[in-house]
Structure 1
């Protein structure tokens, strides 16, 4: 699929846009080099396909890289796997689809934490353990 065949609509899927509006608490402790909270700070919409492709190409070193991994042709982007790619070259699938990504967020895991600590236990907020 070439960039010219990608739709001009760059709006975030509705569920992701709603989560982005709420926002997340995220802190990095410089002394311990540990993070707390959800490391997710999306733009209000997807960047232009050409810009996304340029970033992917720089990060991956692959001049053929695009932006979306469409593994299920003809199916909405919200049902596609979500891949984590960071600027240091780490990459991997972190969710089967947008719904699974939203569950990660609900657990307090952002994309980087989901990648670096996939076995992380569920956080409980506002509950006491006996």
Structure 2
């Protein structure tokens, strides 16, 4: 089955928007960040893991952005759990966003790389550029 390129681009952009919304939820619900602090955290800790998804939008298969976001999102959920749900266990400042950066980036790369073969396995393809 061939997916129209426009729909693939919209799905990839929506996946990236969902990641940004997830980080916005973390910033507002847990950390009570201002808009400036949210943008700073987004640029420092979330932009690098989102780069594979952003680059994927400009490839032959924009749906790779969805795969990158699917494997990166659990790291943001884990950061929320560690800092906001789990009781504080002492030991100083939280370093969970360092893990988000260091482990989320390779996960996003793997997600982007595996999306193509998985799509071919299920007989899916994206229409070529015009």
Give the structure-1-normalised TM-score. Answer: 0.28
Structure having the larger proportion of residues in strand: 1
Task: Pick 1 or 2: higher relative contact order, CA cutoff 8 A, min separation 6.
Answer: 2
Structure having the larger proportion of residues in helix: 2
